[in-house]
């Protein structure tokens, strides 16, 4: 029996890996929601629809068994992120329910919990307390999905080929500080993007993951010294080899709100656990940070070098 997936955000960092994993899955037919038909796409592989244009979503879910919603707007003003993440998701979910879609899966973020610290937190143990317009609207999107009986997946830090935020953001931060950090033992939940893509598809097909909220990260959190040690193996060593403690780093970042934000996230625990997610799932959580980062390192080096040259 063929299962038809409709994937939103299939050209994005996470959505592209979800689409690739779905294409490799026997018995799965994959369609993408797209504002325009990609050149060379197979007939029926693309469904027209724009989360910013609600009338365009009418009928988009017809013939769909599983909706996997990966599209998110992360930048722009409050009105624009609300239009896509909140209102667009609500309209899409309404279309899915109307079309009789059997499963709705939304790839969200642990950022809906707010600033932290979070140490060993399981789903449902702490309240939703988003600290930005993007996170607030993603929390609203979650509610639309959950109200329809859907499945919400919350990764924390996602890294790997195509990452333009997590590791490049750390490189930028250490450059702003002119040093790396010492004395910071915070734990960060992380998952590489390819494993995340496979996990999303496996969960979408799993009878044991029918609805509710799950954290989706590698079971072993990453200690900040290990994370920064890996980042510092990349070219043009961030910070020039110097090291400062957290108090000195905060002094150096004074007056730089973005650097202070990054430091605030990095220096406190963001460790989310989920004892049930990987159980009975037809997907491995992967080898973990050290091995997966080594595989992604050549891409990061090329990306960072290209960014420096431009």
Here the CATH number for the domain that contains residue 120 is: 3.40.50.720
Q: What is the reported pLDDT for 236?
A: 67
Residue with tokens 């919400």: 152
Structure tokens at 192: 């590489």
Residue 202 lies in a domain: yes
What would the pLDDT profile of 220-260 be if each residue is shown by its tens digit?
Answer: 999 999 999 999 998 766 667 789 999 999 999 999 999 99
Residue 103 lies in a domain: yes
Residue 204 lies in a domain: yes
Residue 139 lies in a domain: yes
What would the pLDDT profile of 278-307 be if each residue is shown by its tens digit?
Answer: 998 989 999 999 999 999 999 999 999 877
| 36 — pLDDT class (breaks 50, 70, 90) | confident
Residue 9 lies in a domain: yes
Q: Kindly report each contact of residues 246-253 with a partner whose C-beta sits within 8 Å and lies 24 or more positions away, as own/partner.
A: 246/181, 246/183, 246/184, 248/179, 249/177, 249/179, 249/181, 252/176, 252/177, 252/178, 252/179, 253/176, 253/177
Beta bridge partners of 46: 32
Which pTM does this prediction carry? Answer: 0.95
| 38 — pLDDT class (breaks 50, 70, 90) | low
Q: Is the peptide bond before 117 cis (omega within 30 degrees of 0)?
A: yes
What is the number of domains present in the chain? 1
Residue 182 lies in a domain: no
Residue with tokens 């693309």: 46
What would the pLDDT profile of 54-86 be if each residue is shown by its tens digit?
Answer: 999 999 999 999 999 999 999 889 999 999 999
Q: What gap in Å lies between CA 238 and CA 230, rounded to an integer? A: 11
Structural domain including 104 reads 3-160+189-219+271-285
Residue 97 lies in a domain: yes
């Amino acid at each position: 029996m063929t299962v038809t997936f409709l994937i939103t955000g299939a050209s994005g960092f996470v959505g592209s890996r979800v689409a690739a994993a779905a294409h490799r899955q026997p018995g799965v037919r994959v369609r993408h929601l797209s504002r325009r038909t990609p050149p060379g796409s197979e007939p029926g592989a693309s469904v027209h629809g724009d989360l910013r244009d609600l009338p365009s979503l009418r009928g988009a879910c017809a013939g769909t068994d599983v909706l996997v919603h990966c599209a998110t707007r992360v930048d722009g003003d409050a009105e624009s992120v609300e239009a896509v993440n909140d209102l667009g998701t609500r309209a899409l979910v309404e279309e899915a329910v109307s079309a009789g879609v059997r499963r709705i899966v939304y790839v969200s973020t642990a950022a809906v919990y707010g600033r932290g610290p979070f140490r060993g937190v399981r789903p449902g143990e702490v309240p939703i307390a988003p600290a930005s317009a993007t996170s607030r609207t993603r929390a609203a999107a979650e509610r639309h999905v959950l109200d329809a009986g859907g499945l919400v997946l919350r990764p924390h830090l996602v890294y790997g080929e195509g990452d333009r935020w997590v590791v490049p953001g750390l490189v930028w931060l250490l450059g702003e500080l002119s040093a790396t950090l010492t004395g910071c033992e915070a734990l960060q939940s992380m998952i590489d993007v390819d494993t995340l893509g496979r996990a999303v598809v496996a969960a979408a097909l799993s009878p044991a993951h029918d609805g509710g909220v799950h954290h989706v990260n590698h079971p072993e959190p990453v200690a900040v010294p290990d994370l920064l040690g890996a980042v510092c193996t990349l070219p043009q060593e961030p910070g020039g080899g110097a090291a400062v403690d957290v108090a000195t780093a905060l002094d150096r970042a004074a007056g730089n709100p973005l650097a202070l934000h990054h430091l605030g996230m990095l220096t406190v625990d963001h460790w989310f656990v989920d004892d049930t997610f990987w159980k009975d799932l037809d997907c491995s959580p992967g080898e973990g940070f050290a091995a997966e980062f080594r595989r992604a390192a050549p891409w990061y080096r090329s990306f960072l070098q290209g960014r420096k040259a431009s």
